[in-house]
A and B are shown apart, each in its own frame.
Chain A
Amino acid sequence: MSRTLFQSLRCLIALALALMPTVALAHSENGVAIDFKGGFSHPIFGPDHVIAMVAVGLWGAFLGMPAIWLLPVVFPLVMAFAGALGVLGVPLPGVEIGIALSAIALGSMVALAARPPLWVAALLVGAFAVFHGHAHGTELPIGADAVAFSMGFVVATGMLHLAGISFGALSRWPAGRIAVRAAGCIIAVIGLVYLYNSL
């Protein structure tokens, strides 16, 4: 993994931390104060989302440049579009199954050290982001402090990717590579549990 990449990672972490406001009081359109903290905690307190987003980072780090930053760029963009559909009430069948499958597929990719072409990886990540985005969108509170909430939500998603990338960076060393693949295996197994529960 290149030196540039580590510099970029450090910069992104600094940027994400700087984006965290202390208090968000306004733009509450009907008096419901759901702020940055609410948005930030929204993806973090959903373990099924957490493992998939970490898996995206892990897989990106495993694939190296340019997947390491391309996958975490694709995920929030597609997630936001799907989230908008969820907010606006557009139905999507099999969301929970899709989320469980995302953990299984992405975890398996890491566990098996799969190296498909970049466009396949991006397509796969984008396809699964649809389910995550839609699930978040349907749960987003109408009348929330939209700007602060969305900022928190997107920054938290980015931080989860960064967590995955940071752990995935261990794959530079032989022992770290085993640890990263083991983490992928664990994510896939957790995904199987979610799939069993959702069926």
Chain B
Amino acid sequence: MKELFRGTLFACLLMLSSPAWAHAPIMGIGGVLGGALHALLIPEHGMSLVALGVFLGRQQPVARRWEALAFIAALTGGLVVIALIGEAALAADFLLVATAILGLLIAVNWAPPFLGWPLAVIIGGALALDSPPEVSSTAEVIRMLIGSGLGAAVAVALLAEAAGWFRANGALIVMRVLGSWIAAIAILVLSLRIATRMATG
């Protein structure tokens, strides 16, 4: 009982939604902290991190840690690329597709390691490429990107360990329902974005 409530409280705190400021830096908060908050407070990024964390939590500890490392490697690579090119088209779409797949896998309670690797890499890369810092100073860009990377990596690591810790039946049900909601949201967002693009050319 206590374990389940602790888990839910943890998930609630991580998923607490706040106003979405798109990809603008958070007013008054810059640097590493601003970057970390950027990674956590953009709703679709937060949703992807939760989905990946829960998915990794369903794996065996060794596989979980290797897949988390793959995520961090892809995230780091993506952050370097976005620092160099400034903008990457379709990164948000890839992120949503991978999030929808993760949500579906969580909902059906199937977490094979052979899917964990590519999905962790796609989420890491797409999340980084969808995080272009909108500031002019190079030093500030680097600080924000480091913050984004740290925020996302710490969030996934914590979520994966927490999800791995909760193995009771009730916690599993909560995760499966959460997975179905995440998949449904990702599918609807993706379709709305595609329809908007088609409508606006």
Contact = CB atoms under 8 A, between A and B. Distances in A.
Contacts of A73: 107, 176-177, 179-180
A125 interface: no
Nearest to A28: B22
Interface stretch (B10-18, B63-71, B135-143, B145-153): B10-18
SS of A interface (majority): helix
A25 B20 contact: yes
B174 A84 contact: no
Given A27-B22, A88-B194, A151 B43 contact: yes
Contact of A15 (B18, B21, B178, B193): B178
A69 B24 CA distance: 39
A26 B180 contact: no
B177 A158 contact: yes
Given A80-B188, A83-B187, A142 B22 contact: no
Interface string A127-157: 0000000000100101111111111011101
A29 B193 contact: yes
Nearest to A140: B192
B173 interface: yes
B87 to A, nearest CB: 16
B17 A11 contact: no
A77 B192 contact: no
Given A15-B11, A88-B195, A137-B191, A25 B19 contact: yes
B117 interface: no
Given A19-B17, A20-B17, A23-B19, A77 B191 contact: no
A158 B1 contact: no
B185 A150 contact: yes
A30 interface: yes
B24 to A, nearest CB: 8
A77 B183 contact: yes
B84 interface: no
A142 B195 contact: yes
Contacts of A88: 191, 194-195, 198
B185 to A, nearest CB: 5
Contacts, number: 159
A120 interface: no
A158 B187 contact: no
A197 interface: no
A83 B104 contact: no
27 contacts: A4-B168, A8-B177, A11-B5, A14-B8, A21-B17, A23-B19, A24-B20, A25-B21, A29-B200, A36-B17, A69-B177, A73-B176, A76-B180, A77-B107, A77-B180, A80-B187, A83-B188, A143-B199, A144-B192, A146-B189, A147-B47, A149-B188, A151-B17, A151-B185, A153-B188, A158-B177, A158-B181
Given A14-B9, A21-B19, A77-B184, 14 more contacts: A4-B169, A8-B177, A11-B174, A14-B8, A21-B43, A29-B196, A72-B180, A79-B184, A84-B187, A87-B192, A142-B192, A142-B195, A149-B188, A150-B189
Interface of B: 1, 4-5, 7-9, 11-13, 15-22, 24, 43-44, 47, 104, 107, 168-170, 173-174, 176-181, 183-185, 187-196, 198-200
